Structure 1
C-alpha cells in the first residue's frame, strides 16, 4: 500500500473532507482569483555580468528542498491530492539527493549538476522575472530560471532592505508567521492545538519567556550600545518590515497569500474576510530567540550532570566516583579531534583545582518546574504527547542541537594555490526550509547566501564579493545553573540576603478546530517564574534547604545583539581580509564556529559571550546564587557581565586546514557537550582532509568528495567496529551464527563501512545485512559492556547525559527519525577506549575502570559474541519497526530523510546522507 509522510495538522487536510469538496473548493478558488501566485513581468534587458564578483565562476551553493516556501490554497490542495509541486518548491532537492550516488564520478565541470552557481547576478538568458516591489524605483528583484532565488538590487539602503523584506515574504511568509508565534509561546493559538505545536511552543517559552516590553528593550539596547551601526541596523530592520508588510497587503488584496491562512481560519477563501497581521520590530526579536535557542546557545545540563555525579559517588565513593564521572565526561580528552590543531591552547570551562559554591541536590529531590497549567479540552488529552521528546521531534526541535560541518584547506595545499572551502550549516530538513537563499546588492551591502526566514535583512551564511563564510554550532558553555534559596514560600528567594519575590510570566493559549487541524477545542496556560538569575527550571533540596534551580544564559535578553556582526559580514567596506572577518564574528554573541576563505587566506573564529566566572566555580554543576559565585561584574538588570576577550576564544588564520563537525575547538577549551573523545563525528572529516592535504593538489572536486564520502560513513563501523572484531577474532570463532555475522561485518568494513545504495534509486543498501546487524548490536553491546560494572542506576543516569546511539534510523536517538544528522551523540569513544584498554593498547585519557568483561579479554569476547548472536537473530522488522512513512523492515526507508512539514506542502523522502542542509563550495580566483 502507498506510504506517506508523517501526519501533521495540515496533513489531515486530505482526509478531513471528502474529495468532492476538494474539487469544489479548488474550482471556487480558481474562479474568484484562485489564490494563485502572481505572475511577474519577464525581464527584457540583459543582466550585466557582476563586476564585483571575484570568485571566477567557482562559487556554488545548494539549499533543499527549494526556494519557494509559499503556496496558495489551490496549490496546497493540489499537492495534498496529487503530489503536484508549486514552481521552485523542491527543485533543489533532486540535485542535493543525487550527490550521494554521484560524488565518486564528480569533476570540477560537473559540480553544478549537484549545486547552484552562486555567482553574483543573473545571466540575461537565465532571467525568469523582474519586479519593483511596492512600485518602488530604488529596488529591483530579479529571479533566475533554475532556482527562483531572489537577486535584490537597490540604489538606496532603504530600498535594498525593503526589497529584502518583500522577497522574504514572497518566499516564506507563512513560516515567518509561525516562528514569530513560536517565539512568543503563541503557536497553538495561531496554528492549532496539535500535540507537536504544544510541545514546540512549550520548549521555547521555558527558555525565553519574554514579555513585549522585554522584546522591545532588546531592540533599544542593541541600538544604543552600537552607535552608528546600531542606528543603521534599526533603520534596516524597519525598511525590511515595510517590505514584508507591503507584500502582506499586496497578497491580501490580490488574494495570493499562503493558503495556510485559510486552512487555519485566519482568512476566508470565499469572502476574503480575516486578517494577516503586519509584522513589527519585536517580531524579529521573537524570531531571533527561537533561532538562537536552537543553534547558538551552548551549555546547560548542570542539574543532569549533578544527578549522574551523585550516582557515581554512591556507587564508588566520593573520590573514586568523581574519577569515574570525570572519565566519562571527557572534558579535555587528549585524543579528541580539534579544529585548531596547531598546538594553541585556549583554556575555558576546565575543572578547577578546588570547586567553590557547588550546590548539588540531595539525592532524589529534583523535580522539574511545571510549565503548563489549567488544561481544558484537547489540551488535557494531548498532555502526554506534547511534553514528550517524540512529539517535538516531529516538527523542529531536538534534545541536542549540534549540527553543520566545514572543510577548509589552505592554498598552500591546493592545485590552484587558492584556498578551497566546502562548508555549511545543518539546520534540519523542513518544508519549507528554515533558511532561504538570496542575493542582496545595495549601498554598504554585497552578499549572496542563506538567511533564516524573517531575519534576512542580511545574508547570515554565504559569500561577499571576494570571500565566503559559514558556521557550525560550537556548544561552549554560556549557560549556568544557580541554586536560589527559597524564603517565605516557594515563590520568594534570597537575593543578596533579601527575600525577593519571583516574577510571574504567563501565556494563555486556546484553540478551536480548523480545516488544517481537527484537534478539538482546548486551552492551557504556560507559566514561568523568573528570578534575577534567570527562569526557574527545577526545584530540589540542597543539604535539606529548599531551592529553585534557575538557568542564566549570557544571550538571555540579548537576542538582537548579533545583528551588528551580520551587518559587518555583509559590508564589503568592512570585510577586506581574515582579521576583519574575525572582528565581525566577535560581534555575534551566540555560540558558533565561524570559517572564512578568500583567494589568499583562510581563518577561523569561535563566537559567543563567554562569561568570566568567579574563581573556583565549576561550570559543570549548579552553584549557589550568591554574590561570591556570580559572573564577574554581572548586572542582573541588563544581564551583562565581563566576557572572555576575543584573544581567549579559539581563533586562527591560515592553518593548513580546518575541519569542524561540532567537535572540540581547541586544546583546553571545554564545550558543554558530552562525547568529545577519541571517536567523534569530526574524525570522519579529519581523516579524509588530513590525507588530502598530505598528498597536496587539493581541488574543489576532491574536497567535495571527502565531504560526501564522510556523509555516507557509519562512524561506528569505520572507527570502532574493527577493534570489536579484533577482540572477537582473538580466538577462532566456532559458533556458526557468530562467524557468519563476523564475516558480513568484516566484508562491510573492507568495502568502506558506508550506508550506500546498490545503485542510484535502488532503495536497497549494499551490505544490508551487515548494517542491520550493527544497528541491532550496538545498543545491546553497550549495555552488556558497561551496565554490569557501572550498575543500572549510574548506567541509566550516564545515558541521560549522552545517548548510546544515533544511527540514521534510530528514532530513539536525540535527533529523531528521518532527520539526516547522525552519529554526533553516542558512546563511540567510551567503547573505543574500553576495548583498546582490554586489548592492552595505549589509551590516552582512558576511562577510570575497564568495563568489558571486567577487563578480562576472554570475558569481554564472550560478551561481544553473545550480544552479536542476539543481534544477528534480530529481524529487520524489529530493528526497523516502521512508521507512518515506512513499512516495518524497510531499511532504506527507515534511514531516509524527510522534509518535515511546517506548512501545507509535502515533499518525498530522499536517501540518507549526513551533510549540511545549506552548503557552499568556494574557491576564489582573485581579491580586491
Structure 2
C-alpha cells in the first residue's frame, strides 16, 4: 500500500526556486491532486528479538530514509522547497553535531543520532504493511524516521519484504545504477554530460556482457555450497519483492516521478512501463559498488611514467631512490591500525625485481573508450569538463572515505567496548545507502545497505554485536604488458596469437525534456584479453604492447554475498572469531571492525593474489606464465590468494583507528602518501589520549571523532613546523608578520574549520583559513619543483595530488564532497621541513628540497609564498561554482547532497566524517 505524502503545512514551504523548464504548467493541478498518496497507518508492533544493546546503540544516515518521490512531490520540491516525508529529516541532526559536540554527554547522543534498538515501540508505529497481501512478512515503519522494520516468518517472505521496502525507498536510484553498471544510463535517463560521464566511468572498469553477469550468479550458486544456494534463493525472493512493488506502484500511480520526467511513463494516461528487475541487474549494481569501494590497487602505468621521469632526472640508481622515497611503500612513521608491532608482509618491494615491462619514454597512450559520437554526444571541451565534474563526487567514494574508532572494554568507564564507526559513501539525494531492520529465519540485523543490494544488512548491528568497514586499498589489481601479434587486436597468450574480444555498448537518446539535451549517440568499446581489459597502449623496448588491468574481483563481484549473509546470521556470528571468518568471505578490499559487550576485533578482507616471486606489484609486468599470479586460471580469473592469517587481523587490541590509513607494519597499500602525516593521525592522537586517561565513554569517543572531523590536517600537523622555519629569524615584512600572527592564533585555538556560532555560515579564524588554503599549493610547488624539475614534479602530482582541502575543486574528491585531507603532500612537506630544521626523520626523502636544505633559503621561499597567499582575496581563493558565489568561504567548504533524482536538499557545513555512522556499546551478550 502506498505510504508517501508530502508535508502539507504552509509554514514548511520555502522560498520558491526556479521552475524547471521541462515541467509543463498545465499539468500541475491534475498532478498535485491525483498523485499524492496516503500513508498507511497502524499500531501493530513487530516482535522484538534479543537485543543486547541496552539502549546504547545509535546511528544516523543523511539526508533521510525516503528516497522516492511522486511527480507531485518533485514539483512541490522544485517550486517551493517542500520536502517529502522523511526525505531530509536526518540531515539536520547530522549537521548539528559540528556545533554541539563540545557539550555532548551520553544522554544527549540521540540529539544527533537515532536510537538503533531493534523493533518499534507501539507508540512510535507510523505504518504497518503486508506487502502484496502476504501473510508471512510485515513491514513496520517508525514515526520518527520512516525506517522499514521487516519481520518475516519464512525466509522467502523476509527477503520478499526486504525487496519491497527497498523499492519503496530507492526504486529510481536502483534503476539508475543497474543502468550505470551496464554502461547504459543515457538511453534510460538522457544524454546529459553527467549521465555520459557516469556510464563511461564505471563501464571502463567492468565492461561486462549479460553472459558475464549471469556467470557470476552461477558461480556463487554452484561453488559456495548450501550458503551459495541460499543466497540465490534470497536474491530471487528479494527480486520478487522489488517487482511486486513496481506492479503495485504502477497500478496505484505512485511510482517515482522521475519516470515521467525521463519519458518512461505518461503522467496523464499512465502509459509506459517500468521494467522488472532480474538477477543480473543486481550483479550490475554490485559491480558499481565494488568499483567505488572495494577495488584497491592499479596505477602501475602511472607509477612507471613517474619512475622513468625520476630516472631521467637523476639517473637510474638515484632516480629510483628518489621515487621510492616519495612512494612511501612502508614508511616507519605511518600511522597503523594494527599498532602492536605485528608484521603482515604483502606487496613488498622485491630485492631482485623480475618481469618488469616499463614503457618506452613518451610511448604511452590511453585506450580510447568512446567512438562514433553524433548529435549532442559530439565531444567538446565543455562537455568533457562537465562530465568530469559530474563524476567527481562519486569518484570521491572510491578514493577517500570511512573511519572507525574502537576502544576495548579495558579502557572504558563501563568495562564494555565502545565503537564509533561508519562508511563515507558521499552525499547524495537520495543517498546510496538505505536503513533497514530485517528479522526472519537466519537473519537478525539492523543497519545500512546499498540500495538494490539490501537483501542483507551490509553495515550495522546484530543481536549482540556491531560491525562496520573502511576502504583498505591494498593492491588486488595488476597491469600486464601483453605483446601484440598480427595486428593491434591480437596478442600472445601463452605463446599463441589470440584475438582480443571486442565488447561494445551502443547508446543513443532522443531529445530529453528532463535535461534539455538534443538527440545523440555514441559507442563505448572495450578490448578484453585473458589478462583483463586493455587500458593503455605503448611500446616496451620497441615492442608494441597493450597494457591490461586485471583485478582479483574482476568477474567475481557477486562472490561476497556469502560473507554478508554470514554477518546477518545470529547462529553464525557469536563472537569475534566468527565475525572474522565471515569477513574472510568478502573479496572486496575493506577493513572490518567489530564490537560486542566483551570483545573487539579487526580483519582486512580481499582476495590478495599470490604473485610470482620477484614481481613488483608497483609496475607493469610481462604477460607471461613466469610473472602471472600463482595458479591463475584465465578462463575463470581465479588464482591462489594469501591465507587469512596473512591478512592484517587482530583481537582485543587496546584501540583501533582507521581512516583509510596503512593497516599494519610491512603491509603495502596501493596509496601514495601513507607517511608521517595522514588524516588517520587526527584520530590516533585523540583516541590515544582518551585511552591513556581511561574511563572512555560513548560521548567522549563521539567528541574525538567530531573534533577530528573539523580539524584541518595541514594546520594541525604541518603548519607548526612551517611557522617554526618562518620565525627562525624575526619576520620584518608587515604582510608576512600579520599572516604569521593569524596562522599562529588559529593553531593555538585548535586549527579547526568551525563557524563563529551555530548557523552563522561564517568561519572563526576566516583569514587564517583563507591564507592557508591559498598558501599550501604555492608553498608545495615552490618547495619541491626547483629540485625535482618540472617534468618530475608534474609526474609526482599525477600520482598524488598536492592538496585535498574541503574547498578544493581539484584532486580526487572534487568540491562539496565532505571527505578531505586523505590525499596530499602533507607527509612530504613534513619530512622535508623537519630535515631542514635538523630534526630527526625516520624514512626521510632521498633529498632535502626546501631551499636546497638551507634554512635561510627555505625561509625565504616560505615567506615569499606566504606573502603571495596573504594577498589573495577570498574571491580568488574561492572562485565560486554552480553551488556558491565567489568569495563565499563557508559555502565553498559546504557539503552538497548531489542530486541523483528529482528532489533537492539543502547544504550543510563541512564535516569530515562518515555518511552512515554508528555509536555502540553493548551491555550484555547471548
TM-score, length of structure 1 as denominator length: 0.97
Is the contact made by 1:429 and 1:917 (CA closer than 8 Å) also made in structure 2? yes
Q: Could you tell me how far 1:38 is from its partner in structure 2?
A: 4.2
Is the alpha carbon distance of 1:425 and 1:513 closer, same or farther for their aligned partners in structure 2, counting shifts above 3 Å? Answer: same
1:108-257 alignment, distance < 5 Å: 108-257=106-255
Corresponding residue for residue 39 of structure 1:
39
Is the alpha carbon distance of 1:194 and 1:451 closer, same or farther for their aligned partners in structure 2, counting shifts above 3 Å? Answer: same
Corresponding residue for residue 14 of structure 1:
19
Corresponding residue for residue 893 of structure 1:
891
Is the contact made by 2:472 and 2:604 (CA closer than 8 Å) also made in structure 1? yes
CA distance in 2, matches of 1:646, 1:815: 32
CA distance in 2, matches of 1:60, 1:775: 35
- Say if 2:363 is the partner of 1:365: yes
CA distance in 2, matches of 1:219, 1:324: 46
3-state secondary structure, aligned to 2:569:
coil
1:300-330 deviation digits (Å, cap 9, x = unpaired): 0000000000000000000000000000000
Is the alpha carbon distance of 1:843 and 1:135 closer, same or farther for their aligned partners in structure 2, counting shifts above 3 Å? Answer: same
Is the contact made by 1:62 and 1:96 (CA closer than 8 Å) also made in structure 2? yes
Is the contact made by 2:212 and 2:555 (CA closer than 8 Å) also made in structure 1? yes
Aligned match for 1:275, one of 273, 276, 286: 273
Is the contact made by 1:392 and 1:398 (CA closer than 8 Å) also made in structure 2? no
CA distance in 1, matches of 2:357, 2:45: 68
Corresponding residue for residue 595 of structure 2:
597
1:413-470 deviation digits (Å, cap 9, x = unpaired): 0000000000000000000000000000000000000000000000000000000000
CA distance in 2, matches of 1:294, 1:386: 21
CA distance in 2, matches of 1:289, 1:572: 28
Corresponding residue for residue 288 of structure 2:
290
Q: Could you tell me how far 1:17 is from its partner in structure 2?
A: 4.6
3-state secondary structure, aligned to 2:785:
helix
Aligned match for 1:816, one of 811, 814, 817: 814
Is the contact made by 1:613 and 1:629 (CA closer than 8 Å) also made in structure 2? yes
Is the contact made by 1:412 and 1:656 (CA closer than 8 Å) also made in structure 2? yes
Is the contact made by 1:195 and 1:383 (CA closer than 8 Å) also made in structure 2? no
1:90-149 deviation digits (Å, cap 9, x = unpaired): 000000000000000111011001001000000111100000000000000000010000
Is the alpha carbon distance of 1:321 and 1:46 closer, same or farther for their aligned partners in structure 2, counting shifts above 3 Å? Answer: closer
3-state secondary structure, aligned to 1:644:
coil
1:639-788 alignment, distance < 5 Å: 639-788=637-786
Number of residues of Structure 1 aligned to a counterpart in Structure 2: 911
Is the contact made by 1:206 and 1:528 (CA closer than 8 Å) also made in structure 2? yes
3-state secondary structure, aligned to 1:380:
coil
Corresponding residue for residue 627 of structure 1:
625
Q: Could you tell me how far 1:401 is from its partner in structure 2?
A: 1.5
3-state secondary structure, aligned to 1:339:
strand
Is the contact made by 2:434 and 2:450 (CA closer than 8 Å) also made in structure 1? yes
- Say if 2:340 is the partner of 1:342: yes
Q: Could you tell me how far 1:222 is from its partner in structure 2?
A: 1.1
CA distance in 2, matches of 1:573, 1:266: 44
1:27-75 deviation digits (Å, cap 9, x = unpaired): 11244x32x23421x2233555x34100000000000000000000010
> What RMSD in Å do the two structures reach over aligned CA positions?
1.2
Is the contact made by 1:188 and 1:197 (CA closer than 8 Å) also made in structure 2? yes
CA distance in 1, matches of 2:283, 2:230: 17
Corresponding residue for residue 845 of structure 1:
843
3-state secondary structure, aligned to 2:483:
strand
1:94-113 alignment, distance < 5 Å: 94-113=92-111
1:168-219 deviation digits (Å, cap 9, x = unpaired): 0000000000000000000011001111111110011111000000000000
Q: Could you tell me how far 1:399 is from its partner in structure 2?
A: 9.0
CA distance in 2, matches of 1:13, 1:764: 26
1:448-463 alignment, distance < 5 Å: 448-463=446-461
Is the contact made by 1:196 and 1:386 (CA closer than 8 Å) also made in structure 2? no
CA distance in 2, matches of 1:254, 1:389: 36
Is the contact made by 2:266 and 2:272 (CA closer than 8 Å) also made in structure 1? yes
Q: Could you tell me how far 1:357 is from its partner in structure 2?
A: 0.3
CA distance in 1, matches of 2:390, 2:310: 31
1:378-420 deviation digits (Å, cap 9, x = unpaired): 0004575347773343652249523100000000000000000
Is the alpha carbon distance of 1:628 and 1:38 closer, same or farther for their aligned partners in structure 2, counting shifts above 3 Å? Answer: farther
3-state secondary structure, aligned to 2:19:
helix
- Note the residue ranges of structure 2 that are not aligned, 5 or more in a row: 1-15
Corresponding residue for residue 550 of structure 2:
552
Aligned match for 2:29, one of 14, 27, 30: 27
CA distance in 2, matches of 1:63, 1:27: 34
CA distance in 1, matches of 2:470, 2:383: 31
3-state secondary structure, aligned to 1:14:
coil
1:797-833 deviation digits (Å, cap 9, x = unpaired): 0000000000000011210010000000000000000
Is the contact made by 1:394 and 1:900 (CA closer than 8 Å) also made in structure 2? no
Is the contact made by 2:590 and 2:605 (CA closer than 8 Å) also made in structure 1? yes
Is the contact made by 1:444 and 1:571 (CA closer than 8 Å) also made in structure 2? yes
Is the contact made by 2:482 and 2:622 (CA closer than 8 Å) also made in structure 1? yes
Corresponding residue for residue 6 of structure 2:
none
1:518-597 alignment, distance < 5 Å: 518-597=516-595
Is the alpha carbon distance of 1:855 and 1:714 closer, same or farther for their aligned partners in structure 2, counting shifts above 3 Å? Answer: same
Is the contact made by 2:194 and 2:387 (CA closer than 8 Å) also made in structure 1? no
Q: Could you tell me how far 1:617 is from its partner in structure 2?
A: 0.2
3-state secondary structure, aligned to 2:901:
coil
CA distance in 1, matches of 2:175, 2:381: 25
3-state secondary structure, aligned to 1:304:
helix
Is the contact made by 1:448 and 1:459 (CA closer than 8 Å) also made in structure 2? yes
Corresponding residue for residue 73 of structure 1:
71
Is the contact made by 2:17 and 2:79 (CA closer than 8 Å) also made in structure 1? no
1:826-846 deviation digits (Å, cap 9, x = unpaired): 000000000000000000000
Q: Could you tell me how far 1:25 is from its partner in structure 2?
A: 1.6
CA distance in 2, matches of 1:232, 1:485: 43
CA distance in 2, matches of 1:898, 1:395: 10
Q: Could you tell me how far 1:26 is from its partner in structure 2?
A: 2.0
Corresponding residue for residue 4 of structure 2:
none
1:497-536 alignment, distance < 5 Å: 497-536=495-534
TM-score, length of structure 2 as denominator length: 0.97
Is the alpha carbon distance of 1:812 and 1:898 closer, same or farther for their aligned partners in structure 2, counting shifts above 3 Å? Answer: same
Corresponding residue for residue 84 of structure 2:
86
- Note the residue ranges of structure 1 that are not aligned, 5 or more in a row: 1-10
Is the contact made by 2:475 and 2:669 (CA closer than 8 Å) also made in structure 1? yes
CA distance in 2, matches of 1:864, 1:209: 48
CA distance in 2, matches of 1:471, 1:898: 24
CA distance in 2, matches of 1:508, 1:266: 20
3-state secondary structure, aligned to 2:339:
coil
CA distance in 1, matches of 2:678, 2:187: 42
3-state secondary structure, aligned to 1:505:
strand
Q: Could you tell me how far 1:580 is from its partner in structure 2?
A: 0.1
3-state secondary structure, aligned to 1:39:
coil
1:548-578 deviation digits (Å, cap 9, x = unpaired): 0000010000000000000000000000000
3-state secondary structure, aligned to 2:548:
strand
